[in-house]
Structure 1
Amino acid sequence: MSKVTKEMALEYHREGKPGKIEVVPTVPYSSQQDLALAYSPGVAYPCLEIEQNPQDAYEYTSKGNLVAVISNGTAVLGLGDIGALAGKPVMEGKALLFKIFAGLDCFDIEVNEKDPEKFIQIVKALSPTFGGINLEDIKAPECFEIERRLREECDIPVMHDDQHGTAIISAAGLINALEIQQKNISDIKLVVNGAGAAAVSCTRLYIALGVRPENVVMCDSKGVINRKRTGLNAQKLEFATDRDIDTLEDAMKGADVFLGLSVKDVVTPEMLKSMNDRPIVFALANPDPEIAYDVAMESRPDLIFATGRSDYPNQINNVLGFPYIFRGALDSGATVINETMKLAAVKAIAALAKEPVPSVVNAAYEMSNLRFGREYILPKPLDPRLITTVAPAVARGAMESGVARRPITDWDAYNDKLRQLMGYDNKLMRRFTEEAQRNPKRVVFAEANTDNMLRAAVNAYQDGICIPILLGNEEMIEKRAARLGVDITGLEIVNLRHDREADRRARYAMNLAEKRQRDGMTYPEALEMMFDRNYFGMMMVETGEADAFIAGTYS
Structure 2
Amino acid sequence: MTNQPRSHLTDDPAFVLHEGGKLNVVSSVDVNDNEGLSLAYTPGVARVCSGIAETPDLVDTYTWRSNLVAVVTDGSAVLGLGDIGPEAALPVMEGKALLFNQFAGVNAVPIALSCNEADAIVETVERMAPSFGGVNLEDIAAPRCFDIERQLRERLDIPVFHDDQHGTAIVTVAALRNAVRLTGRGFDELRVVVSGAGAAGVAVTKMLVDSGIGDIAVADSKGVIYEGREGLTPIKEDIAQISNKAGLRGSIETALEGADVFIGLSAGEIPESVVATMADDAIIFAMANPNPEVHPEVAHRHASVVATGRSDFPNQINNVLAFPGVFRGALDARATDVTEGMKLAAATALADLVSDDLAGDYIIPSTFDSRVVPAVAAAVAQQARADGVARA
| TM-score of the aligned structures, taking structure 1 as reference length | 0.67
* Counterpart residue type for residue 204 of structure 1: K
8 Å Cα contact 2:224-2:248 kept in structure 1: no
Structure 2: how far apart are the matches of 1:6 and 1:120?
40
Q: Please tell me whether residue 234 in structure 1 is matched to residue 239 in structure 2.
A: no
Aligned to 2:168: 166
CA distance in 2, matches of 1:267, 1:67: 38
CA distance in 2, matches of 1:28, 1:158: 33
Which residue of the partner structure matches residue 16 of structure 2? 11
Q: Return the offset for 1:288.
A: 1.1
Q: 1:393 maps to what in 2? A: 379
Sequence identity percentage:
47
- Structure 2 match to 1:419: none
Q: What runs of 5+ residues in structure 1 fail to find an aligned partner?
A: 356-370, 407-555
The change in CA–CA distance for 1:68 and 1:211 in structure 2 (over 3 A counts) is same
Question: Secondary structure at 1:282's aligned position in 2?
Answer: strand
Residue in 1 that maps onto 2:3: none
Q: Does 1:225 pair with 2:225?
A: yes
Q: Which residue of 1 aligns with 2:206?
A: 204
Q: CA deviation at 1:229?
A: 2.9
CA deviation profile, 1:512-534 (whole Å, cap 9, x unmatched): xxxxxxxxxxxxxxxxxxxxxxx
CA–CA separation in structure 1 for the residues paired with 2:227 and 2:173: 27
Report Cα offsets for 1:304-332 as digits up to 9, x if no partner: 00000011010001001100110010011
Whether the 8 Å contact between 1:216 and 1:239 is mirrored in structure 2 is no
Aligned-pair distance for 1:388? 2.0
| Structure 1 partner of 2:296 | 293
Tell me the equivalent position of 1:262.
266
Amino acid at match of 1:8: P
Q: Name the SS for the 1:333 alignment partner.
A: coil
> Contact 2:321–2:373 at 8 Å: present in 1 too?
no
Q: How does 1:21-420 map to 2 (within 5 A)?
A: 21-212=23-214, 215-227=215-227, 229-240=229-240, 241=244, 243-263=247-267, 266-297=269-300, 299-300=301-302, 302-354=303-355, 371-406=357-392
Is the Cα contact below 8 Å between 2:182 and 2:358 reproduced in 1? no
Q: Relative contact order (C-alpha < 8 Å, sep 6+): which is higher?
A: 2
- Residue 308 of structure 1 aligns with an amino acid whose one-letter code is G
Q: Which amino acid aligns with 1:13?
A: H
Please list the CA deviations of residues 263-308 of structure 1 after superposition, one character each: whole Å capped at 9, or x if unmatched.
Answer: 15x11222221111111111011111001111211x22x4200000
Note the alpha carbon deviations across 1:197-249, whole angstroms, 9 max, x for none.
0000000000000014xx22111112222345311101212233463531111
**2:247 is aligned with what amino acid?**
R
CA distance in 2, matches of 1:225, 1:131: 38
In 2: Cα distance, 1:195 partner to 1:291 partner? 18
Between the aligned partners of 1:9 and 1:195, the Cα distance in structure 2 is 31
SS of the residue aligned with 2:280? coil
Counterpart CA distance in 2 for 1:271 and 1:239 is: 24
Deviations 1:90-114 (A, max 9, x none): 0000000000000111111111111
Residue 468 of structure 1 is matched in structure 2 by: none
Q: For 1:163, what is the secondary structure of its paired residue? A: helix
**CA distance, structure 1, for counterparts of residue 346 and residue 306 of structure 2:** 22
Count of residue pairs the alignment pairs up:
380
Q: Quote the Cα distance in structure 2 between the aligned partners of 1:388 and 1:35.
A: 36
Q: Give, as a single letter, the amino acid of the residue that structure 2 aligns with 1:307.
A: T
Stretch moving more, 221-230 or 393-402 = 221-230
8 Å CA contact 1:324–1:390 kept in 2: the answer is yes
Distance across 1 between alignment mates of 2:383 and 2:167:
17
What secondary structure sits across from 2:29 in the alignment? coil
SS in 1 for 2:355: coil
Q: Within 2, Cα distance between the matches of 1:260 and 1:306?
A: 10
Q: Distance in 2 between matches of 1:243 and 1:324?
A: 38
Q: Could you say what secondary structure the match of 2:88 adopts?
A: coil
Aligned to 1:303, the other structure's residue is in SS state: strand
Q: In 1, distance between residues paired with 2:79 and 2:55? A: 40
Deviation at 1:187, TM superposition (A): 1.7
SS of 1:85's equivalent in the other structure is: helix
For 2:94 and 2:184, locate their aligned partners in 1 and report how far apart those are by CA, in whole Å. 41
> How many angstroms apart in 1 are the aligned matches of 2:166 and 2:11?
30
Query: d(CA) in 2 for partners of 1:51 and 1:244?
Result: 59
CA distance in 1, matches of 2:275, 2:298: 10
Secondary structure in 2 matching 1:81: coil
Q: CA deviation at 1:385?
A: 1.0
Aligned-partner Cα distance in 2 for 1:336–1:217? 29
* C-alpha separation in 2, matches of 1:314 and 1:123: 35
Confirm or deny: 8 A CA contact 1:263 1:289 kept in the other structure: yes
Cα deviation code 1:375-402 (max 9, x no counterpart) = 1000101111112211111110111111
The 1-side partners of 2:228 and 2:369 are apart by 47
Question: For residues 335 and 226 of structure 1, what CA distance do their matches in structure 2 show?
Answer: 35
Give the Cα separation in 2 of the matches to 1:328 and 1:239.
29
